[in-house]
Amino acid sequence: MKVLFAVLAYLVGAIPTGYLLFKLSEKKDIREFGSRNTGATNVMRLKGWKYAVPVAMFDVLKGFLPAFLAVKLFRDLQLALIASFLAVLGHCFPVYIRFRGGKGVAATIGAFAAVAFRPFLLSAGVFIFVVVLSRYVSLGSILAVLTFPAFTFLFRGRIEAVIWGIAIAALIIVKHSANIGRLLKGRERKFGERVS
């Protein structure tokens, strides 16, 4: 039963929300435009807030629900960690569209909130502070996921949660490798910039 739950977590996480919405509204593949990702940030740049907000909300739920339900239904933190990691992995590498998905940030937000709420709030504060100061969503995302395991450790969270946070941070950083390159070259798009 737990194995099935974990597999379902991946399959739900892999639902390509931004891809589907863009396909329905534009009859095009969002991965051919903007940052070429399926996430809410690219949807916002291409379609605006009206489309980006529902994408972001659904993607956050994809990360939140597996962890939340694993604890509520099975009383199993390890299952919560595995299932939520698989949901984030599904968001990044969705089986439905040949494993080319988003960068996993929204799903990670949901997972972090479900597993360790106080460290999540501090990491969210880091994200907001960095984005307001620099207007780089990618930089805020990277620093937020890097600080989450540290905050979890400082709040004396379970070592499994700290390791899980490090694993998710590594995944998010890998998915942001191109952004890191553009940040270093000063070519990264800033928050609010639209693309044609």
Stated pTM of the model:
0.93
In a domain, 131, yes or no: yes
In the DSSP assignment, the letter for residue 71 is I
In the DSSP assignment, the letter for residue 16 is -
**Pick from 167, 52, 155: nearest CA to 108:** 167
In a domain, 190, yes or no: no
Q: How far is 56 from 179, CA to CA, in rounded Å?
A: 19
Q: What is the structure's pLDDT at 35?
A: 86
Q: What is the structure's pLDDT at 157?
A: 87
Q: What is the structure's pLDDT at 189?
A: 86
In a domain, 196, yes or no: no
In a domain, 193, yes or no: no
In a domain, 191, yes or no: no
In a domain, 195, yes or no: no
In a domain, 140, yes or no: yes
Q: Is the Cα dihedral 66, 167, 117, 37 positive or negative? A: negative
* Total number of domains in the chain: 1
Give, for all 196 residues of the chain, the pLDDT tens digit: 999 999 999 999 999 999 999 999 999 999 999 889 999 989 998 999 999 999 999 999 999 999 999 999 999 999 999 999 999 999 999 999 999 999 999 999 999 999 999 999 999 999 999 999 999 999 999 999 999 999 999 998 899 999 999 999 999 999 999 999 999 999 998 876 665 5
Contact status, residue 116 vs residue 155, Cβ threshold 8 Å: yes
Parent domain of 164: 2-185
Q: What is the structure's pLDDT at 193?
A: 64
In the DSSP assignment, the letter for residue 190 is P
In a domain, 124, yes or no: yes
Q: What is the structure's pLDDT at 86?
A: 98
Q: What is the structure's pLDDT at 195?
A: 57
Q: How far is 182 from 167, CA to CA, in rounded Å?
A: 23
Q: What is the structure's pLDDT at 180?
A: 96
